[in-house]
Amino acid sequence: MADLDLIKVDPRALLDQFKKAYYNDTGTTLQIGSDEYAAASVFAYCWSVLLSDINNATLNRFIDSSKGMFLDAIAANYGIDERPKGYHATATFSLTTTANPITIPANALIVEDNAGNQFTNRYDMTVDSSVTQPNVLYAVNAGTEYNGIPQGEITNIVEGSAYITACSNQTMTSGGTDGFEDDDVYREWLKIQIQSFAGAGTYAAYQARAKNADSRVLDVYVLRQDDSGYQKGKVQIFILTDTTTDLNNQVLDIVQNSCSDIAFRPIGDLVEVYYSTLQSVDIDHYFRVSYPERFRGIAVARNSRIMAEYNALLQSGINRPFKFVELCEMLCTKDDDGVYATDAKPIGITTVEYYTPIYPDKGSRLSVSVKAFLNSYDTEGA
C-alpha cells in the first residue's frame, strides 16, 4: 500500500497565516501579548492536535499503518478474535510402562531434555505396549524454540513416573510456531491471510499437514471442489489411522487441531476432520476359478483367504477402487507354498464392465463381498 496523503499542519505556519490575515483585515500587525495573539496561538495549537488525531485515526484504519488494538480490530473484521499463540512442537516417543496396557490422563505425563524443554500428553493416552507403540507428546508451550531437539534427547520424567518408567523421543521435535506479539510480524502474516480469505487452502497443503500431524495417520483425503458434498469455505478432511495404536480415537483431535491452527489455515476456512468410513459393497456376480485337480481340497478356503487379503489391500488406502482384474490376478498368483489358480474371471457381466473399477464414496474405503466363487478343477492341469 502506498503512503497515505494525509493532511499535515505546522502550528507556527498556521499562526503566521493568522497574522497575515489579521494584517490584511485591519492594516495593523498582530502584537505578541495581545488577546488576539493569544487566541490565535491557542487555535493554531488545538487545530494541529486535532488534525494529528484525525491522521492517526485514519492511519489505524489501514493494515499497513495500524498498531496494537487497531490492528487487532482489523483482524476481527476477518474473523480473527485473537492473535495466534503459536503451535506446539511434537515428537514421537517410546514409553516403557509400569503395566500393560495403561491409560494416562491428559497432561499427567511431563518429560524433558537436559535443557528443561518439557513435553506432555495433551490428550488421554492409552499405552498398549512399551517401546514398539508410537506415542505423540506435545511441547508444554508453543514456539519454534522447541523444534530441532534430536532423537533420544528427551528422557527425563518430571511427572508421571507412576505410569511410565522410561521414555525417549524417537523423532526430532518439529512443528512448533511462535505467536504474533510483534505488530510488524502479525501484520505481514495477516496480509497473507486476507489475500487467501476468498478461497480454501490448497488440497495438497491440508493433506500434507494432516499426514504430518501424527505418525499414526496412514492416509489422508481432502474433499475436492468437484466432489459430492463439497462446500465452499469448508475443508473436509478424511483420515485413515493405525487402529492398533489409535486406541482412543485421539488422532482425529490431533489432526483437527493441527489443520485448524490459525497460523496455518487461511481465514474463512472451516476445517472438519473425519475418520474414513468403511463402505460395504456386495459384488452381485459369480467368479469362476479354475484350479489344478490336486488343489481341490484347499481351493474353497484359499478363495476366502485371497478375498480377505484383497479387502485388506482395499482398506489400506482411502478411495482405493475395487478392480475385478486385481482380484483375479491375486487368485492366479502362486502362493509361497506353490498353490495357484490357472484362471479366474467374473461371469454374468460384459467385457466392458469387467475392466470398470468400483469406486467408494469420497473419503471412504471399500469392504467387498462377492456373490459366490464357482470352482472348477482340471485333472490335466499343470
When pLDDT is cut at 50, 70 and 90, the band that residue 227 belongs to is: confident
Q: Are 30 and 22 in contact (CB under 8 A)?
A: yes
Per the domain annotation, does 148 fall within a domain?
Answer: yes
88 pLDDT more than 70: yes
Least confident of 104-113, 128-137, 302-311: 128-137
How many folded domains does the chain comprise?
4
323 and 358 both lie in a single domain: yes
- Structural domain that includes position 311: 279-378
pLDDT of residue 197: 45
Average pLDDT over residues 308-337: 92
More confident residue, 200 or 81: 81
pLDDT tens per residue, range 4-21 = 455 566 667 777 777 787
351 pLDDT more than 60: no
Distances (CA, A) of 284 to 196, 287, 375: 47, 10, 17
Q: Are 189 and 261 in contact (CB under 8 A)?
A: no
pLDDT of residue 8: 64
304 and 345 both lie in a single domain: yes
Q: What CATH number did the domain enclosing 248 receive?
A: 3.30.300
pLDDT of residue 328: 92
56 pLDDT more than 80: no
Place of cell 463381498: 369
Q: Are 375 and 319 in contact (CB under 8 A)?
A: no
When pLDDT is cut at 50, 70 and 90, the band that residue 52 belongs to is: low
More confident residue, 376 or 19: 376
Distance CA 113, CA 173 (A): 11
pLDDT of residue 140: 93
132 pLDDT more than 80: no
**Local structure of 210: helix, strand or coil:** helix
Per the domain annotation, does 231 fall within a domain?
Answer: yes
pLDDT of residue 199: 41
- Indicate the burial class of 88 (C-beta count within 10 angstroms; 0-12, 13-18, 19 or more): buried
Q: Which of 175, 176, 180, 157 is nearest to 167 (CA)?
A: 157
257 and 304 both lie in a single domain: no
Per the domain annotation, does 267 fall within a domain?
Answer: yes
pLDDT of residue 111: 96
